[in-house]
Amino acid sequence: MDLQAYFDRIDYRGGTEPTHETLTALVSAHVRRIPFENLDPVMGVPVIDLSSAALSAKLVARRRGGYCYEHNNLMRDVLCALGFGVERLAGRVVWMSPEGMDGPPRPQTHQALAVTIPGSDQRYLVDVGFGGQTPTAPIPLVPDAVQQTSHEPFRMREHGADYVVETMIGQRWRPLYVLAMQPRPLIDMQVGSWYVSTYPESNFVVGLSAALVTDEARWNLRGRNLAIHAGGSTERVRFGDAAQVCAALTERFGIDLTGLGDIEATVAAVLDT
């Protein structure tokens, strides 16, 4: 792990001691500089290699983004190198599901992190890869403790032996995912990443998504539709064609599209999914 290259990528100039201040600053910088995106699955490229070398090459050196397995394993490598205690956790996504918490169990296709600061028993949820609703700060792994972030408040709610991660949209708490507390090895994450990047009905295979956080807003792209959420209001932009979408990926989200083949033709095929 080339830490300096990572710090340059996220424009981080803060401390490197394994403290709560450092953890908070790194999460904040990461989500503002490295976008969430699923271009590889859309292009038919499985995301299987979650090694530090592969993630650094893609997200840092090539200035691409990625999805949860890539973002959170990269963050894990950084935090471990700095001396934090880090465990991988798996979650079942219920966000935007019509059935929400009431439907049948969904697959564990999301990765997050449990982070411990040296000298403390307090664990924090760190998740820099949840797309449009990515938490912008560490969240205490304590039931019902509300954590105000630079954007929305978040909390953890007990759900049997698991936790439900929730955020407040408007005046209502909404569930994002059910998080299992059992630490998972890398192989489990590789299996999950292979599944969501190759399964023919996966949202990551059939539809284009990108997301990025700014100081004032959340930028969420789905197909040809861009939503900019800021201060309780939403601006919506509908792009006319794939060329405009690709321009937005480059200019608004900062994604380097070189080396991806005929990206415009592929994007055109999934614009309305």
Could you tell me the CA-to-CA distances from 164 to 83, 93, 130, 196, 242 in Å, in that order? 28, 10, 14, 21, 37
Q: Which helix (H) or strand (E) holds 4?
A: helix 3-9
Closest CA to 12 of 75, 80, 85: 75
Q: Which of 71, 127, 151, 162 is catalytic?
A: 127
List CB contacts of 165: < 8 A, sequence separation 6 or more: 91, 112, 125, 127, 135, 139, 154, 155, 156, 175, 176, 177, 178, 179
Neighbours of 265 (CB within 10 A): 9
Measured distance CA(178)–CA(61) in Å, rounded? 33
Q: Are 244 and 237 in contact (CB under 8 A)?
A: no
| Cα separation, 112 vs 208, whole angstroms | 22
Q: Which of 30, 71, 110, 229 is catalytic?
A: 110
Paired with 236 in beta bridges are 227
Dig out the tokens for 72 from the structure. Answer: 């959170």
- Give the active site residue among 30, 40, 68, 77: 68
3-state secondary structure of 238: strand
Bridge partners of 108, per DSSP, are: 92
The answer to whether 127 is a known catalytic residue is: yes
Residue positions annotated with a catalytic role: 68, 110, 127
